[in-house]
Amino acid sequence: MISHKYSSLSKGDFLFKQGDFGKRFYFVVSGALEVIVKSEGSDTFKYSKTIDVNTYFGLKSNPAEARGDNARVTSDGTCEIIEFDSQIYIDIVSKTQLSTCEQKVEFLIRYVPKLRSLPRRLIEDFEVYFQKESVS
pLDDT band at 104 (very low <50, low <70, confident <90, very high): confident
Give me the pLDDT at residue 135, please.
47
pTM, rounded to two decimals: 0.69
Rounded to whole angstroms, the Cα distance separating 110 from 97 reads 16
Lowest mean pLDDT, pick from 46-50, 86-90, 104-108: 46-50
User: Dihedral sign, CA of 64, 34, 82, 124?
Assistant: negative
Q: What single DSSP character describes residue 116?
A: G
Residue 84 has pLDDT above 50, yes or no: yes
Question: What is the phi/psi pair of residue 66, to 5°?
Answer: -80, 160
pLDDT band at 125 (very low <50, low <70, confident <90, very high): confident
Give me the pLDDT at residue 132, please.
56
Asked if 83 and 25 touch (Cβ cutoff 8 Å), the reply is yes
Residue 47 has pLDDT above 60, yes or no: yes
111: exposed, middle or buried (Cβ count in 10 Å: 0-12, 13-18, 19+) = middle
CA 117 vs. chain centroid, Å, equals 18
* Domains of the chain by start residue, with CATH: 5-131 (2.60.120.10)
Give me the pLDDT at residue 45, please.
66
